[in-house]
Amino acid sequence: MDYQQPDASGHFGRYGGSFISETLTYAINELKDAYAKYQHDPDFLAEFKYELAHYVGRPSPVYHAARTSRELGGAQIYLKREDLNHTGAHKINNVIGQAMLARRMGKPRIIAETGAGQHGVATATICARYGLECVVYMGSEDVKRQSPNVYRMKLLGATVVPVESGSKTLKDALNEAMRDWVANVDNTFYIIGTVAGPHPYPMMVRDFQSVIGQECLKQMPEMLAAQGIAAQQPDAVIACVGGGSNAMGIFHPYIPYEKTRLIGVEAAGEGLDTGKHSASLQRGSSGVLHGNRTYILQDDNGQITET
Ligand SMILES: *Cc1c(COP(=O)(O)O)cnc(C)c1O
């Protein structure tokens, strides 16, 4: 299906693309070429699969949440247990893929941005494993709020840089990481943690995270058959949407399954009409942020508003 792949300029329809400064063009082209070279490379894919099985601990189980299903009284609910991956979230699937690319591109220094710290911890962990230098940008507000993850990153040998600009949170950390990348393109690989950033990042992150949905496609028929349920696949797949990586990872392989509804859930905060939420898909509008066109929360002057 065509719409599942970006066009030559990295757009999915109107969205995506590559809105970058001239100083990043070289780095982005280098990355595009490297990903095009390794994306279907049997050795690369075999190593990725090996790492996911033996380092991350995949496949993650599908678990029937029987009591929750009973309590809620409606659908039977199954959980894809990405929390059981090494480092405790889905982030590591993507980090391994990008770190493997960095090694092949000969980049000894890794930078990353992090909000709650899960992507930072996954990146610090893989850098320790592969012997790469690791610098993690984190809004100073998040550094305070998420101190256990800061401690973990430092323990793993990463440098955590508190970002004092803007709202001192994730978007500011991403800006700062971009600045670092511009200044250090020769030896640095930027591992973005979600489906954001200029092309090819969103496609790459989606591809690496698709292992979640691919496993579900195999696990659900087995689970349902064992329970004597006739269906092969769930009626709906539901994922929380922050930056979109776990959602894309589970949704993407399900796109051809037309009977399965794909439902993304955004955080409504104090309510969608209060202006205090983080529902950029529901209440945002089209704009360019962090190198791609997407839905953003912005004011009338195009300034990004706080989530
Ligand atoms: C990072 C993270 C999210 C949100 O990020 P997505 O890119 O939308 O997946 C949600 N839950 C957990 C546990 C995370 O680590």
User: Would 171 be classed as within a structural domain?
Assistant: yes
User: Three-class SS of residue 16?
Assistant: strand
User: Would 247 be classed as within a structural domain?
Assistant: no
CA distance 252 to 232: 17
Residues in the chain: 307
**CATH code for the domain in which residue 125 is found:** 3.40.50.1100
Q: Does the CB atom of residue 242 touch ligand 1 within 6 A?
A: yes
Per residue in 24-75, pLDDT tens?
Answer: 999 999 999 999 999 999 999 999 999 999 999 999 999 999 999 999 998 9
* Whole-angstrom Cα Rg for the chain: 19
| pLDDT reported for residue 135 | 98
- Write out the residue range of the structural domain in which residue 96 sits: 14-213
Distance 242 CA to ligand 1 centre (A): 6
Give the mutation target among 82, 83, 246 for probing the ligand 1 site: most ligand atoms within 8 A of CB. 246
Please state the domain count of the chain. 1
pTM of the full structure: 0.96
Distance 245 CA to ligand 1 centre (A): 7
User: Would 237 be classed as within a structural domain?
Assistant: no
Parts of the chain with a pLDDT under 70: 1-3
| pLDDT reported for residue 307 | 86
CB 124 within 8 A of CB 158: yes
| pLDDT reported for residue 306 | 86
User: Would 268 be classed as within a structural domain?
Assistant: no
User: Would 140 be classed as within a structural domain?
Assistant: yes
Per residue in 124-136, pLDDT tens?
Answer: 999 999 999 999 9
Q: Does the CB atom of residue 241 touch ligand 1 within 6 A?
A: yes
Tally Cβ neighbours within 10 Å of residue 12.
20
